[in-house]
Chain A
Amino acid sequence: MSAVIEVSGLSKRFKNVTAVDDVDFSVEENTICGLLGRNGAGKTTLMQLLTGQDFATRGSIRVFGETPVENRNVLQRVCFIKESQKYPEEFTAKHVFRSAPWFFPNWDAEFAGRLIDDFRVPLTRRIKKLSRGQLSSIGVILGLASRAPLTFFDEPYLGLDAVARQIFYDRLLADYAAHPRTVILSTHLIDEVSNLLEHVFVIDEGRLIIDQDADSLRGSAVTVVGTRAAVDAFVARREVLHTDHLGGLASVTVDRLSQSERVEATEAGLELSPVSLQQLVVQKTNIPHQEFEQSA
């Protein structure tokens, strides 16, 4: 395994906002990674830094072992699908797909053609007349058919219907299996993509708060339900993510439980229920601003 992206001590400050705050991580080659977090958490800024579209305030970035800024070696291997991609005024989808091979050496026109049919993209209508979903379809097709060794999808499917999103997931998996590459997927629809991911990054207020293998993350957090006294006794020495009380009952989410702790909980008459990746991210990032500052 080798790292495609290596970042250390990376920060990006705009006037009085620290969008990316002293972040260290690396991305393994040929993995599908999720970059998750709330609006304004710093996801897009981070991707702009990684693709050389903005300058870091501090820290170092290595993409394919080199700095991405103004670097042809790096950038011709990178595809960045943005949420709000702008196209020239008179462009139709046809123009977009015709010009794609100029930027992406691995462009597969035949695959793009099949995707255009799948997503039912009108080729000859002007882009500014297209719906939000059709615009997103164009981005998704570009991202898939470019087969770039490193592909970023930043919230790629605004306005895409459920059918189109399912087509995207299926085509992504199939094409990734046939042509392994590194994919970084930033999205809010965590439940929909969680099974596609091999690694998960969660960013909150510019800081990287989760950097973990998806398999070990899945099922690590557990909600413990039972009488208040029993639950409180059980979770006393553990890191608690979330607490709910209902009369004499308590429902507490803890970060992780070992197999022996699970047995211990069951024997104490407590019920354990799984926490999905989406719930885990919600609970980890649902902290009011003030409180976050203090606890950090």
Chain B
Amino acid sequence: MNISEGQIEVIKTGFYSSIQDLGRFGQGHWGIPAAGAMDRQSFALANHLLQNDPNDACLEMTMLGDELKFVGDTEIVLTGAEASIQLNGSKHPINKPVKIKNGDILKIGPFTTGFRMYLGIKGGFQSPCILKSRSWYKGITENFRLKKRALLPYKTYQSKENSSYAKVAIDESLLKNKTLDVYAGPEAEKLPRSTFEQLFEKYFHLSAQQNRMGIQLKEPLINELKEILTAPVYPGTVQLTPGGKLLVLMRDAQVTGGYPRILQLSQAAISCLAQKKQGESIRFNLIDT
């Protein structure tokens, strides 16, 4: 095995891609968001299939994939959303580690199912580690969104033998599931009982207002709650805005907020929601902490 510097050259960008690991933990007291992979389940699968470290950085793509050229041998895997994927013009599988040769071109089309795809690479992407994480975030890392002609460094990897890959049952429910497990939020008890119950009686649809910071849902709720004294918020916190809209905070969310926090998504529910696109429906299922 011979390790040297390799890199991906970005030929064409998709919709929104960024380098992500598990996030920038322990920095919230400086007001720095954790960031990290939106769908942790697919992110973890990519590293697991490559027998990487669980925190190795992957490329997270949103809605539409990128066109990438590899300079240096390696091994990759794609997880999460489904799409038409071509390696040097031939069909390329998902959820299966594949060897890559110097000069190979990977082209990923629009996603057919799911909203986020992870490109895992042997040993992880080697872009700069700032405050203990490689996750891109505006104001913290030099880049926050993948641009054309960008270069993504990795360590080249050649394996002579056919490696035996970790055998994993792929969780098909992640992309299909519409039910999000939630805990009652710290301000839930301030809601009238009938309003709180409405949260579990209907489907909510994802609006166009969504990014890595948060996802606003379309259906409003009658809201008579006042704003709260600014308090900590977390990925997965569902805030009730003064206009009655539900705002689900995601990985890039700020660390404090002033809207009532009425629900908290489970970790699995955050991953599931990260795979939904505008117009798709979800429902909440209340569980105990």
User: Do A and B belong to a common assembly?
Assistant: no
